[in-house]
Amino acid sequence: MKRAFATSVLLTCLVAGILGKPLTKESEKERPMRKVEFNGQVVYVPVQEKLADPFSSRITGDEQKTDMILNEEQKEYIRQEKEEHKDGRTKRKAVRDVLKRWTKVGGDVIVPFTMDSPTDDIPYIYEAMDHWSTKTCVKFETYSSDRSSTLGHNQRLRFHKADGCWSYVGRQPTYEMQPQPISIGSGCLQLGTIAHEIGHAMGFQHEQSRPDRDDYVEVFWTNIETDQQHNFDKESLQDVMASEVVKYDLTSVMHYGAYGFAINENIPTLVTKRPFDMQYIGQRSGLSFYDVKLANYIYNCNFTCDPLLDCANEGFVDKTCTCQCPPAWTGALCNENSNVPETITEITRTEPSGEITSPDYESGQYPINSASMIYMVGEPGATITLTFDAFDIADPGSHGCWDYVQVNSDDPRYGGEKYCGNQIPAPIVAKDNIMIWFYSNGVNTDKGFRAHFTIDRPLTEAPVVTTKAPTTPVVTTEAPTTPVVTTNAPTEAPTTPVVTTKAPTSEAPLSTLTSPNYPNAYNAREKKVYRLTTDVGKKIYLKIDEMEIQEGRNRCNYDALIVNLGGTDEVLKTRLCGTRTNVGPFESLSNKMKLIFITDGSEERRGFKVSYKSITESTCGGTFGGESGIVESLNYPIHYPNQIVCDYVIQVDPGKVIRLTFNDLDVEYGPNYLCQYDCLKVIQLNQNDQEETLLSLDGTSPPLPIVSRTNQLTLRLSSDAYVGGKGFQVSYLAI
């Protein structure tokens, strides 16, 4: 994790601090300084690294807390926007009423400021303001009351050091606050981080909040801290952040990185749809080309330019009345290829076999400040084997690998094991695809690596003539890949009541699968993948008979069993831990289901035992008895299926009644009337044995407990063909 040191006394240690390395001959040199002239003052700041590690970017400041703050008027606008999205109404204020710009005088946008930050932090803030001013028509001026009368307002930014990095969005009304605070706290002194917070003050929101973000990135909702999930909502105060102005920008300084607000810090919260694009998100080197284009558009920086040049290839005219071009283009009108080589090499290999190497392997040394991505991809179901023949990467330091090779074998976008040193890794086998990341920093170099690979096509099944179809799903297990290491102390997992579930209606017997060593303690620092597959046209039914998995302080961030129903959407996955029995059942979307078991090294428990089978019909619903218990909808807490009607019948001894308590409710909300889309009804039989609905529910607000009049209640969950939710969990007690 990078750390920026602000004091001049520590400048000679910057290389060691940022790279996390002990000082060596190569790194003892004082980090070069760059002169910045800002408003007549000269300051010096460290020169940025030529190539920061694009694969291990962890943003230390602006994703640790909510860094973008909305005022009450803006929050109400967002709320109304969400309501309109549901029912098509258009009643909210114009965006200009809630997102105020800074005042333009002549050709400059004037942003007054005061500086209350520590002296050692000020050069970094000046650098970021100069960065904005150089690339846009924004001009930062020290606040004065005389200037306020010219601007027509008395607002100014107040830079100070509070807890974290944060800023309000746009110029705030003086009746709300004065001056307008912007915090540059500990860990926030990187150029791009300060530019990010200034971007909010200028009116920018987070890039991943754009309405079109689902075309480019995928959100892993199950790994986001519950109270931080709003940071990933699609919402916009910005009326020009549509694709017709600037395209979605993965390289934006306003885009979150991969791991913001993660429950398990080894798993991302945000990944790109295209595996190669993981290198871009979360950069904090400075404003991207499209950030600059958007700022120039918002503040009409070229309004004095006449005639206005017609820039090609998404170029734009800036305040100097010249075309600014995307990196791939140059020339007066952005119509000439710049031939600038890519910073990071992207290679795709699809042939049945071949050889791969690190850059310049034949020369005997890989270059410093280099990175490459090699993506080996086969047909769905293909088996890929990667074998290293030679391996010589810079030896690791006390904080881990300086240069490294990372092999992502389970998901090409993250999670692979990192290798360095000179020990040849064992052969790696994966399904469908493998992504290799190579990175070298600016200090040491070695020979690199050479490897060969094979891509074996999936076996083609012979046509069925007259044979009995298999009834038990095939289970494929994978050897451990990346160790998941945490240092937090474990906490005790709570015990929950036993749940009685309906046995599935299917012709096949249940098979059993357990964690390693079960019922003894499972292994530390292990990742094991179980792939369950059955015949096409069938599904997999699975229930967790017993589970004793270490539970972390923040949900399942120590050890976890991840259940994936077979889709790519994150709503079809959940992380489970703690001590429970009879969890589920779960039902796959297709003929595939995947379980991933991840452990750290702090404490080991018994693990898990699951039962599974092939089914041809849905198993939702069931009958529940006993004095007490828990009832959960099918696939809870992942996602109940579409187009179902499921009855969960609770029946206790005659002469008793049922007290029903709702622990959790997430059923698709209908904005126009109750149960417009999906619905959960609580039903009992009246004296004439006719159904009587006690409650009809949707949304996410659990009702108060209810008591039946008889010894039987039915919970009926129905869903349409769209959206859906987690479902429900209720507790019952016979009284």
Catalytic residues: 197
Q: Amino acid identity, residue 507?
A: E
What is the spatial distance between Cα 365 and Cα 363, in angstroms, rounded to a whole number? 6
Residue 480, by phi and psi: left (phi above 0), alpha (psi -120 to 50) or beta?
Answer: beta
Q: In 3-state terms, what secondary structure has residue 18? A: helix
CA distances 311 to 135, 315, 326, 329, Å, are 17, 5, 11, 11
In terms of DSSP bridges, do strands 511-514 and 578-587 run parallel, antiparallel, or are they unpaired?
A: unpaired
What is the spatial distance between Cα 128 and Cα 149, in angstroms, rounded to a whole number? 27
Before 179, cis peptide (omega within 30)?
Answer: yes
What is the spatial distance between Cα 108 and Cα 300, in angstroms, rounded to a whole number? 10
State the Rg of the chain over Cα. 29
**Residue length of the chain:** 735
DSSP 515-542: -TTTTSPPPSS-EEEEEEE--TT-EEEE
Instruction: For residue 96, list its beta bridge partners.
Output: none
Instruction: For residue 442, list its beta bridge partners.
Output: none
What is the spatial distance between Cα 369 and Cα 441, in angstroms, rounded to a whole number? 5
What is the spatial distance between Cα 484 and Cα 493, in angstroms, rounded to a whole number? 20
Return the structure tokens found at 64: 């640790």
Instruction: For residue 664, list its beta bridge partners.
Output: 729
What is the spatial distance between Cα 223 and Cα 267, in angstroms, rounded to a whole number? 7
Q: What is the 3-state secondary structure (H, E, C) of 120-182?
A: HHHHHHHHHHHHHHHHCCEEEEECCHHHHHHHCCCCCEEEECCCCEEEECCECCCCCCCCEEE
Instruction: Report residue 364: phi and psi, to 5°.
Output: 100, -5
What is the spatial distance between Cα 183 and Cα 159, in angstroms, rounded to a whole number? 6
Among 324, 301, 322, smallest CA distance to 314 is for: 324
b/e burial code for range 524-559 (CB count within 10 A of at least 16 → b): ebbbbbbbbbbbeebbbbbbbbbbbbbbbeebbbbb
What is the spatial distance between Cα 480 and Cα 597, in angstroms, rounded to a whole number? 9
Return the structure tokens found at 235: 């919402």
Among 371, 372, 365, smallest CA distance to 394 is for: 365
Residues with Cβ within 8 Å of residue 143, at least 6 apart in sequence: 112, 113, 114, 156, 179
The answer to whether the annotation marks 196 as part of a ligand binding site is yes
Q: In 3-state terms, what secondary structure has residue 268? A: coil
How many other CB atoms sit within 10 Å of the CB of residue 578? 20
How many other CB atoms sit within 10 Å of the CB of residue 613? 23
The answer to whether the annotation marks 639 as part of a ligand binding site is no
Instruction: For residue 517, list its beta bridge partners.
Output: none
How many other CB atoms sit within 10 Å of the CB of residue 720? 15
Q: Which residues are documented as binding site? A: 196, 200, 206
Q: Which residues are documented as binding site for Zn(2+)? A: 196, 200, 206
